[in-house]
Structure 1
Amino acid sequence: MKVLSNADEVIDLLSKEGPLSPADIAERTGVPRPSVYRLLDGLHAIGLTEPLPDSTARLSLRWLHLADSARAAMHEWSGAPAVLSALVERTGQTAYLSLLRKDEAVCIDWEQGRAIGVLLLKPGRTLPLHAGAAGRTLLAFAADVDSYLASSDLRRFTPATIVDAHALRDDVAQTRHRGYAISDGDVTEGIGALGAPVRSAAGSVLGALSIAGLADEFARQRDRLADELLAAAADLAGDQR
C-alpha cells in the first residue's frame, strides 16, 4: 500500500508540474530519492511515465487512452455532452462538468466556448476546492469544509483567491444560500465563472456544472447566466434518475 501511495503521489505531481527530475520529485513528495528511482523504473516499465534526455520524467501519452476509457465507462454521465453543448449554445461560455476527488475538483468533460484560450481548467485537470466556481461549488455542497480547511494550504492563484479560512466559510454560506458559486478572477485574472451542484434523485451532490468566460461578460449578464446554468444543472440531474 505504501508503494502504491508513493506512486500515486509521483503521478499526481507530474500531472500538475510537468517533467521533473528524481531529485525534484523526492524533494516535493518527501519520498526518499532511491525509492523515487525505483518507482520511476516501474512506471516507465508499464508505460505510465517516460524518461527524457535531460534525466527528467514525464507522464506518457498512454494516459490519454486511459482518460478516454475512464470517461467512456462513466455511463451515468452519458447525457452530459448534450447538456454541455446546449448550455454553451445558450450562453457562449465554456461549460464544465467536474467531480469531487479527495480535496480537488477534477474536470471530466467540457464544451468549449469563446474564451477557451485563457481558461485554466480542462478535462483531466484539477483545481483545489477553495478556488474557481467548480471547486467552490463542491466545497459548499459536497465536501467537509472543516476537514478541507484543516488539510489544505489554501494556495493563492491571484489576488482575488480566497485564502483566509473565515472568508472561505463566509463564501460557503453565501454559496449555499444563493444556490450557486460565483468566481471572479480568483483563478485567472479577468475570468469569471459560475458553478452549480448536480444532484441525484435523493438529493446528494454528484458533481458540479460550471461555466466560465470573460469576467466583464459575467458581470453584465450574471443573472441570466445563472438562470441558464441552474436550468442545465437540473437537466443533467434529470439524466441521473
Structure 2
Amino acid sequence: MAKPIQLLAKSSKLLHSLAEKGALPISELAEELDMPRPSVYRLIDALRLVGLVSTAEDGRSQLGAEVLHLARAVLDALPEARAAQSELQRLNQVTGQTVYLCAPRDNRVACLDWVRGTRVSLLALSPGGALPVNAGATSRVVLAYSPGLLARLSGTPFEQLTPKTLTSLESLEHDGRAIRERGYSVSSEDVTLGVSALGVPVFGPAGELSCAISLAGLTDDILGNEPEYANELMVSASRIQEALEAPL
C-alpha cells in the first residue's frame, strides 16, 4: 500500500489534471500519474466516495460537485474575493469580457476568481492557476506596484509565453513606469496570441497592493475599447478598495 503522503500527492495530481484538462479516460490518467490502471481505478473510487470526482456520461472521470463547495469556501475566506465579487459580475455584464481577480503568491500571480466572458473560450488562466509576474495584465500590475520585486527576480530568467512576452529587465522597468503613469496595464498578446487584457491595481487599507483586476478578451475587442474598459476597471477597483477598508 502506498504511503499516505504519496497517496495524497497522487490524489492532488489527479485532481489538478482534471481541473486543467477536463474529463479524462483512465488510460490517460494512468499515464499522467505513472500508476497501473487498477490503482487508478481504486484512487478514483475513493475520491468519488467523497464527491471530489464523478463519472461523465461517456465514462471518463471528471471533477465532482464537492469541489465547487470547497472552492466557494476558499473564496469566502479571502477578503479580496468577498470584496470583489459583485464588481467582477458588474464588469462582466457591462463589457461581456472575462474578468479576473488575481493576487501575488510566491513570486507568481494567482487567479483567485473570475467571471468568464462570452467571446473567448480558450484562456491560459483560470481560478487556482498562476502566471509569472512578467506576463499578463494583473501580473504586470503586481510587478509595477510591488517595490523591490523586480530586483529580487532579476537574477533568474523570465518566462517567455509568446513572442510578445516581456523578458528583459529594461523592458519590464519601462513597462512598470508606464503602468504607474497611466494607472493600468496593457497586456497585448503576451500570454496567448490573439488575446489581450487591461489590468488595474487594488490597494489595501494601509496603501499596500492587495490584488489586481483585469478584463481579458480578443485583442481587437480589448484594445479597441481601451479607454472605456480602463475607466470601468478603475471604478471597480475603487469600490473594491472601499469594501476592503470597510469595518467588518
TM-score by length of structure 2 reads 0.69
Judge conservation of contact 2:91–2:99 (CA < 8 Å) in 1: yes
Q: Which amino acid aligns with 2:33?
A: I
Residues 72 and 86 (structure 1), Cα distance of their counterparts in 2 relative to 1, 3 Å cut: same
Identity of aligned residues (%): 28
Q: Which amino acid aligns with 2:110?
A: A
Offset of residue 174 of structure 1: 1.3
Aligned twin of 2:168: 166
CA–CA distance in structure 2, aligned partners of residues 69 and 117 of structure 1: 27
1:239 aligns with 2:243: yes
TM-score by length of structure 1 reads 0.70
Offset of residue 192 of structure 1: 2.0
Aligned twin of 2:136: 132
CA–CA distance in structure 1, aligned partners of residues 154 and 59 of structure 2: 36
Offset of residue 15 of structure 1: 1.9
Aligned twin of 2:119: 116
Q: Which amino acid aligns with 1:124?
A: P
CA–CA distance in structure 1, aligned partners of residues 57 and 221 of structure 2: 45
CA–CA distance in structure 2, aligned partners of residues 148 and 70 of structure 1: 32
Equivalent in 226, 230, 236 of residue 230 of structure 2 = 226
Task: Say what the alpha-carbon RMSD is for the aligned residues.
Answer: 3.9
How big is each residue's C-alpha offset from its partner over 1:5-36, in whole Å with a ceiling of 9 and x where there is no partner?
5543443333223423222223xxxxxx47x8
How big is each residue's C-alpha offset from its partner over 1:174-198, in whole Å with a ceiling of 9 and x where there is no partner?
1354233211123333322111121
CA–CA distance in structure 2, aligned partners of residues 64 and 229 of structure 1: 27
Contiguous gaps of at least 5 residues in structure 1: 27-32
Judge conservation of contact 1:193–1:212 (CA < 8 Å) in 2: yes
Equivalent in 61, 66, 78 of residue 62 of structure 1 = 66
Structure with larger Rg: 2
Judge conservation of contact 1:119–1:188 (CA < 8 Å) in 2: no
Offset of residue 44 of structure 1: 4.5
Q: How many residues align?
A: 228
1:185 aligns with 2:171: no
Q: Which amino acid aligns with 1:87?
A: L
Contiguous gaps of at least 5 residues in structure 2: none
